[in-house]
């Protein structure tokens, strides 16, 4: 794959966009939550504390109303000054509540009604002092009239002001609650938008990766097809080269060595050769020529088994295995099962080559004492097994060029090559090739 077609830059850009969106959303959400916390602590909690203090003030004002009712009741045997201590206790509690409430009223920024409340309360207490002064001077009836006409109306006005402040706090709390609901709705809406954006981004990235992977797999399949075709051509060229070399060895060198052997045999029978030493030398040279001829024939058959075309795969195996035993000293048993049938030429040559390569690996690496070649004809396939009792794979997992070549040949005929160790110290190579259409018909 070329660098221009790599998705790395696009994926990194998408990742950067994702991180940026997440950071912006988190920052915006944190700001909203801080505003929500400020709204809750600065408004709702303040209003609740202020409302409790206003209720305390209202309760004190109600206590004043009860006291003034008792002061104006003519049935009470006590003088008016008897209520002075009670009113002083109520005033002390009111002053404490107002001093505490002043902090919350300052934070609320609603000073007009609270200023009016404080002024009215001061005027009320001034009027109370004047009333008690009148009572002290002996004007009891006028003082009671002052309570009934002035102090009670002032108390009602104070209660009305406190009630308005309570209503105002309630309205402010309702507005704050509405703002909180709006903030929650905004956070929820933004969360849905963020999740939708992330899903769209993930979907876009996934579609891009799917498209890129599909294109990459198509190119890999194309390259695999080219590789298979190249392997087919290389193996075909190899077989053609082996056939040509085999023909040259058999036709040219074989005939030359045969002619030399005949000439040496004829020369050794000439009457003129009376020297026994010379006759021995000629016989030795004749033996060497004969051995060389046998080796040339063996090499010719190994390069291109002509007998494979003449007598089939089974006959070729029956002739090759004794020669292998003689050359390597490893006894090989041939086992056949199933109903024999004629195999396609290409299938036969690949089975034969895999058998050769497996036996060569046994001779080079296994150190076994015996081996077995099994040929099994199944209705839909042909199975070739080569097994030994040697040292197994050992420290080598079995990825040499021989196995690579066997796998390439298996792929060329749509077969399956399996290499396994069925027992400790042994290796089994199994090649399964599906039957060609004409074979299936013949087998049927």
Dihedral, CA of residue 382, residue 383, residue 386 and residue 391, to nearest 10: 160
Looking at the DSSP assignment, which residues form a beta bridge with residue 374? 335, 385
CA–CA separation, 313 and 334 (whole Å): 12
Give 175-198 pLDDT, tens digit per residue: 877 877 887 787 788 888 888 888
Do the beta carbons of residue 430 and residue 418 sit within 8 Å? Answer: yes
pTM for the model: 0.45
> CA 387, 334, 363 angle in degrees (round to 5)?
45
Is the pLDDT reported for residue 154 higher than 90?
no
Check pLDDT > 80 for residue 332.
yes
pLDDT at 297: 62
Q: How confident is the model at residue 265, as a pLDDT?
A: 65
Report which of 320, 322, 327 is spatially closest to residue 305, judged by C-alpha positions.
Answer: 320
- Asked whether the predicted pLDDT for residue 59 surpasses 50, the reply is yes
Average pLDDT, the chain: 77
Torsion sign across C-alpha atoms 78, 80, 84, 87 = positive
Low-confidence winner among 318-332, 346-360, 381-395 (lowest mean pLDDT): 381-395
Q: In this model, does residue 2 exceed pLDDT 60?
A: no
Domain 311-443 in CATH 3.30.565.10? The answer is yes
pLDDT tens-digit map of 411-437: 888 889 988 887 666 788 999 999 764
- Tell me if 135 sits within 8 A of 63, measured CB to CB: no
DSSP string, 397-434: -S-SHHHHHHHHHHHHTT-EEEEE-SSTT-EEEEEEEE
**Where residue 384 falls among pLDDT bands split at 50, 70, 90?**
very high
Q: What is the 3-state secondary structure (H, E, C) of 139-203?
A: CHHHHHHHHHHHHHHHHHHHHHHHHHHHHHHHHHHHHHHHHHHHHHHHHHHHHHHHHHHHHHHHH
Give percent of the chain with pLDDT exceeding 70: 72
Which pLDDT value is given to residue 442?
42
pLDDT at position 242 is 63
For residue 371, what is the enclosing H or E element? strand 371-377
Q: What is the pLDDT of residues 98-140, one digit of tens each?
A: 888 877 765 444 567 777 888 888 888 998 899 888 888 888 8
Residue 101: closest CA among 88, 86, 111: 111
Mean pLDDT confidence for 363-388? 87
Note the pLDDT tens digit of each residue in 198-255.
Answer: 888 888 888 888 888 888 888 888 887 766 666 666 666 766 666 666 566 555 565 6
pLDDT at 401 over 80: no
Whether 427 contacts 357, CB under 8 Å: no
Higher pLDDT, 143 or 442: 143
Instruction: Compare 444 and 63 and report the one with higher pLDDT.
Output: 63
Task: Inform me whether the pLDDT recorded for 397 exceeds 60.
Answer: no
The pLDDT confidence band at residue 304, using thresholds 50, 70 and 90, is: low
Highest mean pLDDT of the ranges 42-46, 112-116, 316-320: 316-320
Tell me the mean pLDDT in the region 265-290.
Answer: 65
Beta bridge partners of 388: 371, 427
Q: Which of 23-27, 28-32, 393-397 has the lowest mean pLDDT?
A: 393-397
What single-letter DSSP state applies at residue 390? S
pLDDT the model gives residue 301 = 61
Tokens of 51: 């409302």
Whether residue 279 is predicted with pLDDT greater than 80 in this model: the reply is: no
Per the model's pLDDT, the better-predicted residue between 207 and 282 turns out to be: 207
Instruction: Decide if pLDDT at 52 tops 80.
Output: yes
**What pLDDT sits at residue 314?**
86
Q: How far apart are CA 186 and CA 178, in angstroms?
A: 12
């Amino acid at each position: 794959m070329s660098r221009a077609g790599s998705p790395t830059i696009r994926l990194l850009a998408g990742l950067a966009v994702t991180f940026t969106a997440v950071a912006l959303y988190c920052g915006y959400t944190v700001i909203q939550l801080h505003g929500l916390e400020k709204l809750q602590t600065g408004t709702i909690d303040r209003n609740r504390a202020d409302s409790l203090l206003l209720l305390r003030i209202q309760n004190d004002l109600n206590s004043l109303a009860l006291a003034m009712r008792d002061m104006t009741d003519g049935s009470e045997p006590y003088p008016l000054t008897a209520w002075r201590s009670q009113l002083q206790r109520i005033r002390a509690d009111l002053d404490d509540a107002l001093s505490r409430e002043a902090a919350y009223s300052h934070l609320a920024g609603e000073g007009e009604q609270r200023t009016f409340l404080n002024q009215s309360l001061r005027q009320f207490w001034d009027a109370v002092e004047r009333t008690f002064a009148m009572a002290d001077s002996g004007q009891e009836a006028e003082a009671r009239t002052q309570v009934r006409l002035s102090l009670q109306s002032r108390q009602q006005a104070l209660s009305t002001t406190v009630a308005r402040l309570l209503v105002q706090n309630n309205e402010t709390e309702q507005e704050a609650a509405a703002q909180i609901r709006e903030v929650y709705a905004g956070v929820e809406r933004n969360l849905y938008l963020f999740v939708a954006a992330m899903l769209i981004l993930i979907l876009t990235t996934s579609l891009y990766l799917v498209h890129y992977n599909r294109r990459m797999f198509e190119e890999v399949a194309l390259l695999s097809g080219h590789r298979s075709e190249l392997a087919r051509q290389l193996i075909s060229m190899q077989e053609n080269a082996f056939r040509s070399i085999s023909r040259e060895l058999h036709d040219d060198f074989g005939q030359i060595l045969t002619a030399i052997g005949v000439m040496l045999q004829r020369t050794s029978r000439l009457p003129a050769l009376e020297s026994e030493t010379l006759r021995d030398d000629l016989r030795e040279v004749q033996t060497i020529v004969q051995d060389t001829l046998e080796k040339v024939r063996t090499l010719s058959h190994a390069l291109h088994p002509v007998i494979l075309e003449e007598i089939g795969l089974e006959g070729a195996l029956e002739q090759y295995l004794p020669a292998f035993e003689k050359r390597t000293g490893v006894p090989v048993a041939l086992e056949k099962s199933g109903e024999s049938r004629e195999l396609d030429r290409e299938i036969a040559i690949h089975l034969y080559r895999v058998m050769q390569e497996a036996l060569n690996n046994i001779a080079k690496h296994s150190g076994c004492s015996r081996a077995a070649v099994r040929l099994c004809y199944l209705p839909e396939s042909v199975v070739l097994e080569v097994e030994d009792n040697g040292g197994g794979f050992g420290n080598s997992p079995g990825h040499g060029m021989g196995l690579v070549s066997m796998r390439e040949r298996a792929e060329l005929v749509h077969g399956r090559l399996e290499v396994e160790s069925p027992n400790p110290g042994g290796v089994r190579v199994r090649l399964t090739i599906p039957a060609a259409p004409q074979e299936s018909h013949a087998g049927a």
